[in-house]
Amino acid sequence: MRSQGNATHSAVDPSSPQRGTIPAQEIKSARTSLICVDEMNSSPRLREIQQAGQMLDLTLEITETRIVALRKDIESGHYSVKVDQVAEKIMKDHLLDLFHF
């Protein structure tokens, strides 16, 4: 993520509700109730859509798990920033901005 100007970044407050987030389990149950199709009678395109939905479910679960773990690390004071990686990313982004046509 790129910052612009003198933007300040605030710490994550795990007690405050996050806008626009839906737990992965709710998405999975909503998708399951919306797509109840017999596999034998469904079109190949619908099967592709269902498979993509299953992959999305897995991705959302993994992301949600990572977020929970990061929040715990931050709250407990065990989260450490990898300064070298941050500096490298900033330099790469800056160089890409310079050479972007």
pTM over 0.85: no
- Buried-exposed string 29-63: b where 16+ CB fall within 10 A, e elsewhere: eeeeeeeeeeeeeeeeeeeeeeeebeeebeebeee
DSSP letters, 50-70, are HHHHHHHHHHHHHHHHHHHHH
Contact 93, 2 (CB under 8 A): yes
Average pLDDT for consecutive 10-residue bins of the chain (101 residues)? 44 52 66 56 80 88 91 92 94 88 58
